[in-house]
Amino acid sequence: MATYAIGDLQGCYDPLRRLLDYISFDPAADSAWFVGDLVNRGPQSLEVLRFVKSLGAAATVVLGNHDLHLVMQAEGYSRANKEDTLGKVLGATDRDELLAWLRAQPLIHVEGRWAMVHAGLLPIWTVAQAQALSDEVSAALMADDFREFLAHMWGSEPVAWRDDLTGWDRLRVVVNAMTRMRYVTSTGELEFRAAGAKAPLDQAPPGCVPWFAAPKRASADHTIVCGHWSGLGFRDEPNLLALDTGCLWGGSLTAVRLEDRRVLRQPCPQQVKPSGWD
């Protein structure tokens, strides 16, 4: 029995199946952890959703920003981008079932000293606090009036966490940190707008650090498994596994076996011409 954490799929179904064949993945015995962004930009988002859902308890999924973009677009709360490849999902006969399943996935999964999240955790948050905040977002996504949450979810404000935040502002900071964040300022604020906010570390915005390198990060007692940042690439540190190795852009799809941190990769054909560090 093995647990494999797998980096961003973004609709790259064929490389996923090749990777699972390569590692002899057995859904009856093994577990696959997916770090979010199952969909979009790549050509086979519908196939990815159907397959990962079909794995049942063998798959553990956290939501990424592209997954939430799909949910919002399906409900009319997000405009389609020219790079989107979500049409087959939105037109599928089983779309409602797939979207309900997607909404039921959390923002963070914690198991022992592992914590999986798509983008990262604000430096001030402990893993236990992040788990509780993820539960708040999940409750809003699964509520009967979830569309009201979707109507207020997107946006880049507030930029900082406060324990006394309430309402949509509170949930929006949680979503932004866990699904969109890369850099934070020296005071722990989210940085989305500065030039270089998606860039590799050698092109970091002035006065900013990657979220995982912030001093006294409260979640450093866990190993955070994340994706979201192809410009960062693969990183294996005592308290960090970053897995987005740019499958969409013609890089590779990476899996790490958590029991021994063995790295396994499958080369990927270029699906999209790189235009940034998405």
**pLDDT of the residue at 196:** 65
Query: Mean pLDDT over residues 73-79, rounded?
Result: 91
Q: What's the pLDDT tens digit per position in 125-140?
A: 999 999 999 999 999 9
pLDDT at residue 80, rounded to an integer: 83
Question: Is pLDDT at 258 greater than 90 in this prediction?
Answer: yes
Residue 145 domain-assigned?
Answer: yes
Residue 277, in any domain of the structure: no
| Averaged pLDDT for residues 4-18 | 97
Whole-number pLDDT of residue 195: 63
Number of domains in the chain: 1
Lowest-confidence range among 27-36, 176-185, 263-272? 263-272
Determine, yes or no, domain membership for 258.
yes
- For 12, list phi and psi in degrees, rounded to 5: -95, 80
Distance CA 33, CA 114 (A): 11
Position 200 scores a pLDDT of: 84
Q: Is residue 274 part of a domain?
A: no
How much is the pLDDT for 180?
Answer: 97
Give a yes or no: residue 92 inside a domain. Answer: yes
Give me the mean pLDDT over the 112-122 stretch: 98
Is the per-residue pLDDT at 160 higher than 80? yes
Contact between 271 and 12 under an 8 Å Cβ cutoff? The reply is yes
- The reply to whether 45 falls in a domain is yes
Residue 277 confidence (pLDDT) above 80: no
Q: Among residues 59, 62, 8, which one has the least CA distance to residue 30? A: 59
Mean pLDDT of 239-250: 95
Tell me the average pLDDT across 57-80: 95
pLDDT above 60: residue 142: yes
Residue 275 falls inside a structural domain: no
pTM: 0.96
What is the pLDDT averaged over residues 22-48?
Answer: 97
Q: For residue 87, what is the domain's CATH number?
A: 3.60.21.10
Question: Token pair for residue 270?
Answer: 């270029």
Mean pLDDT for the chain? 95
Q: Is 91 exposed, middle or buried (0-12, 13-18, 19+ CB in 10 A)?
A: exposed
Asked whether the predicted pLDDT for residue 272 surpasses 80, the reply is no
Grade residue 79 by pLDDT with cuts at 50, 70 and 90.
confident
Res 85: pLDDT: 95
In a domain, 202, yes or no: yes
Token pair recorded at residue 168:
């949509």
What range defines the domain where residue 16 resides?
3-267
Most confident of 76-85, 188-197, 264-273: 76-85
